[in-house]
Chains A and B, each alone.
Chain A
Amino acid sequence: MIIRPSLKDIKIILSNLGKISIILGIVMVFPLLIAILFKETDPMYDYLIGIFASFITGLFLIQLSSLKDKTDSKIKWMHGMTVVSLSWIMAMVLGAIPLYLSGHFRSFLDACFDTMSGFATTGLALITDLDHLSYAHNMWRHLMIFLGGQGIILVGLTLFMSRTRGAFRLYVGEAREENILPNVIETVRVIWSLSIVYLILGSTILTIIMLFEGIPLSKAVLHGIWIFMATFDTGGFAPQSQNILYYHSPLFELATMFIMLLGAMNFRLHYALWTGNRKEIFRDIEIASFFITMGLTFFITSLGLSRADVYPGAIPMFRKGFYQLVSGHTGTGYATIYPRQFINEWTALAIMGLSTAMALGGGVCSTTGGIKALRIGIIYKAFSQEIKHLLTSELAVIIQRFHHIKDNILNDKQIKMAFLVTFNYLILFGIGALFGVFYGYPLMDSIFESISAAANVGLSCGITTPFMPTGLKIVYIIEMWAGRLEFMSIFVLAGLLVSMIRGK
């Protein structure tokens, strides 16, 4: 029997959504300050509207729920998952308000597309005339990536949650499976502390490179911060329409590549490194899996590019091929070639190599999307165990071990979850590609773009433009949302909706 959610359940969900809405309003103060600092009057009003709209929504939801604070201790799994999935939709709509008011979008849906793309750290964009966008709006676009990469709920947990039981259910709902420390609030603080330290270090390095490459100081500082946010959080937005190609700098490409790789690493590994446990990097199955798949996909891509006869020599081919591959595998989406060059100049083999890399993604508990290196490692171990089992006596018990932070024995639950999530991703890639073909795009282009959206990568082969069909924009928004949250909280939301209609 399906049980209809009670009024109290709904109130708990609304109350927590209200808090997230208020947090969003608070975060919008950052672009507002940039607008004031650079005397950008019109964007200043855009953010005042966004802040007021977020506060009104938040307070209204809290009033509606009539629940006092400290409701977090009552959060059950169903509440946590539903709050997470709805928070992302709400953040998309509220976050799109100032962007739409900027006048750089053809419709509100386009602004929602970019907002979801930002929060989900995808990087696909429908913005027009990006090169004339204000500093304030650019700050918001990149801040969305920084917040979304760590997790919108994570911000909420930092500010509003004090009790760990409910907090953990929200934390897991946002596709984070692993705690760095036993206490989830402590885990959240570690993630933020590491991110802030990296932000300061990374943006300083990028700023110095930009100064060296001839960009004036104030712009170098802002671009440094924005590019770092979008690189470390594997987002892929850039302040200029040419993306990374704008800078014409091999040094800058090298630095962003290094930051992308850092961003693709599990926060638990970062923590291990920062606490002096440097051997972890050589022992962890996730790192091994990530670099092996990167090597294999780069081999395929290089083979494809060598047959394309586009690049004059091995160095340009390596520079272009490897950069796009690292960008794709880490789910960043930064590009140093134009979208149509993938289709016009890369061979099908090279595109297949890159698409596979995009689908695989980086580490769990990182900011990347896609299937994730740990699951690939587990699937490999499961196959290996099965083959060993077939080759030895039927009575033999084969134990498969792997190292991920600590030594683990492979169990059925891990295998089941790895296959389940991988299967869901493959279905999602397929559905998106099917819609692409339905709207008249070639199969290869449709597969590429669908993987890019669902695995939160952001590389485009030219389908994603403001002129693409509205239906496809909605499909890609859903793909970005589902891909970022790794399905479970969305399935729970769907279950809740069904139980509201059919439950007793």
Chain B
Amino acid sequence: MQVKRVRLIQFIFFLKLYLLIGVIGDMLVTTSYGEGIASDELIEKAKDYDGKEIVFQGEVIGDIMERRDGFWINISDGKNAIGVFCKKEFFCGIRFTGDYSHKGDILEIRGIFHRACPEHGGDLDIHAIKMTRLKEGERIIHLASQKKIQLVIWLGIGLFILVVIGLIRGNFL
């Protein structure tokens, strides 16, 4: 009887442990499902994510386009950029948007994904319900490559020689 009771306690203990692991595992899986879904995944499996709350992270690129009822921004995760519509009350301040001279702010968008948004003419977009700035962008300084400068000088010399030869031979355009 004693042995049976011990085994029953062990069984219940392990069952609880398995359940706990299961619950934690499920939580982890759910969290990873929500955290930073790649744009490729969203576009490829748009039907699966349609109408669901998702989390998308990436750099703000281009412009912040203010409209009557909110803002349009475009967020790029490096592979694709996706349009995010954000109502004014959810909009967090954006300092930098990505272009040639700037690395845009990195944002985390929590919102509803639409593969064909009924409100915006069938666009694939995200309607933000929470916007968090993860990292501030910065100005990019592009220094001129020394190799390019040298190449310009050499080509300039070559062109000059050709022009002189052309003038001497009378073949100049």
Chains A and B form a bound pair? yes
Interface positions of A (Cβ within 8 A of B): 19, 22, 40-42, 44-46, 48-49, 52-53, 55-56, 59-60, 62-63, 66, 68-69, 101, 131-135, 213-216, 219, 240-242, 245-248, 250, 310-313, 315-317, 319-320, 336-338, 340-341, 344-345
- Asked whether any CB of chain A lies closer than 8 Å to the CB of B6, the reply is no
Q: CB distance A219 to B63 under 8 Å?
A: yes
Q: CB distance B162 to A131 under 8 Å?
A: no
Which 7 A/B pairs are nearest by Cβ-Cβ distance? Answer: A316-B122, A52-B155, A214-B65, A312-B118, A45-B148, A131-B61, A134-B100
Q: CB distance B156 to A52 under 8 Å?
A: yes
Q: CB distance B171 to A131 under 8 Å?
A: no
Binds A, one of B17-25, B28-36, B75-83, B127-135: B75-83
The residues of B that contact A248 with a CB separation of less than 8 Å are 65, 72, 83, 85, 120, 123, 125
Bound state CA distance, A103 and B66, in angstroms? 32
- Asked whether any CB of chain A lies closer than 8 Å to the CB of B57, the reply is no
The residues of B that contact A132 with a CB separation of less than 8 Å are 61, 98-100, 140
Consensus secondary structure, chain B interface: mixed
The residues of B that contact A340 with a CB separation of less than 8 Å are 43-44
- Asked whether any CB of chain A lies closer than 8 Å to the CB of B165, the reply is yes
Given A45-B149, A311-B122, A315-B121, does the pair A63, B67 have CB atoms closer than 8 Å?
no
Bound state CA distance, A173 and B107, in angstroms? 52
Consensus secondary structure, chain A interface: helix
The residues of A that contact B85 with a CB separation of less than 8 Å are 248
The residues of A that contact B124 with a CB separation of less than 8 Å are 245, 337-338, 341
1/0 contact trace for B75-113 toward A, CB 8 Å?
A: 010001111010000000000001110000000000000
Please name 6 pairs of A and B residues whose Cβ atoms are closer than 8 Å in the assembled complex, sorted by A.
Answer: A44-B144, A131-B98, A132-B61, A240-B62, A310-B116, A344-B46
Contacts of B136-173 to chain A: CB distance below 8 A:
140, 142-145, 148-149, 151-152, 155-156, 158-159, 162-163, 165-166, 169-171, 173
- Asked whether any CB of chain A lies closer than 8 Å to the CB of B64, the reply is yes
Q: CB distance A59 to B166 under 8 Å?
A: yes
Bound state CA distance, A317 and B72, in angstroms? 22
Chain A residue at minimal CB-CB distance from B148: A45
Chain A residue at minimal CB-CB distance from B79: A241
How many residues of B are in contact with the other chain, CB < 8 A?
Answer: 54
The residues of A that contact B62 with a CB separation of less than 8 Å are 131, 240, 246
Given A66-B171, A132-B98, does the pair A45, B144 have CB atoms closer than 8 Å?
yes
The residues of A that contact B121 with a CB separation of less than 8 Å are 250, 315-316, 319-320
Q: CB distance B145 to A42 under 8 Å?
A: yes
Bound state CA distance, A46 and B3, in angstroms? 83
Assuming A132-B99, A132-B140, what are 15 further A-B pairs, CB within 8 angstroms?
A22-B173, A41-B144, A42-B148, A59-B166, A63-B165, A131-B98, A214-B65, A215-B63, A219-B63, A245-B83, A248-B85, A313-B118, A315-B121, A316-B118, A320-B116
The residues of A that contact B163 with a CB separation of less than 8 Å are 59
Bound state CA distance, A247 and B85, in angstroms? 12
Q: CB distance A135 to B100 under 8 Å?
A: yes
Given A214-B66, A219-B63, does the pair A131, B99 have CB atoms closer than 8 Å?
yes
Bound state CA distance, A62 and B98, in angstroms? 45
Most chain A CB atoms below 10 A, which of B83, B116, B122, B173: B122
Q: CB distance B81 to A52 under 8 Å?
A: no
The residues of B that contact A241 with a CB separation of less than 8 Å are 61, 76, 80-81
Bound state CA distance, A40 and B98, in angstroms? 16
Which of A22, A63, A133 is close to B169, meaning CB atoms less than 8 Å apart? A63
Bound state CA distance, A319 and B149, in angstroms? 49
The residues of A that contact B120 with a CB separation of less than 8 Å are 248
Q: CB distance A345 to B155 under 8 Å?
A: no
Bound state CA distance, A52 and B170, in angstroms? 21
